[in-house]
Amino acid sequence: MKIETLLKKLEGVQTLESVMSILNADRRRATYYVHRLRKRGYVKTKRLSDNTRVYDISFENKLGGISYYDIINQNSPIKVAAPKVYKVYGKKAVIEETLIYAIKTRSLRTILAALALFKKIEDWMTLYRLAKKNRIERQVGALYDLSRRVMRKIPRMPKRFRNNALPKKEYPFEYMIEGLKSKDFKDIENIWKIYLPFNKEDLEDYK
76-116: pLDDT as tens digits: 999 988 776 556 655 555 899 999 999 999 999 999 999 99
Mean pLDDT is highest, among 1-5, 31-35, 46-50, 61-65, for 31-35
pLDDT computed for residue 173 by the predictor: 96
What is the model's pLDDT at position 64?
Answer: 66
Taking the C-alpha atoms of residue 59 and residue 146, their distance in angstroms, rounded to an integer, is 38
Determine the length of the chain: 207
Stated pTM of the model: 0.70
Q: Is the pLDDT of residue 48 over 90?
A: no
| pLDDT for res 202 | 95
* Residue 61 in this model has a pLDDT that exceeds 80: no
Confidence (pLDDT) at 63: 63
Strand 12-14 and strand 194-195: the pairing is unpaired
Round to whole Å and give the CA distance between 110 and 104.
10
Give one DSSP letter per residue of 88-132, joined into a string.
Answer: E-SSPPPHHHHHHHHHHHT-HHHHHHHGGGGGG---HHHHHHHHH
- Given a cut of 60, whether residue 194 has pLDDT beyond it is yes
Least confident of 13-22, 76-85, 112-121: 76-85
User: Quick one: how far is CA 158 from the chain centroid?
Assistant: 24
For the chain, report the end-to-end CA distance as a whole number of angstroms.
48
Q: Which domains does the chain have, with CATH numbers?
A: 1-64 (1.10.10.10), 92-207 (no CATH)
Q: What value does the mean pLDDT of the chain take? A: 90
pLDDT at 91: 56
Q: Is the dihedral angle over the CA atoms 191, 195, 201, 203 positive or is it negative?
A: negative
Q: How confident is the model at residue 22 (pLDDT cuts 50, 70, 90)?
A: very high
CA distance readout (Å), 76 to 113, 114, 116, 178: 6, 7, 5, 24
Region 11-35: mean pLDDT is 94
Nearest to 61 by CA among 76, 31, 82, 30: 82
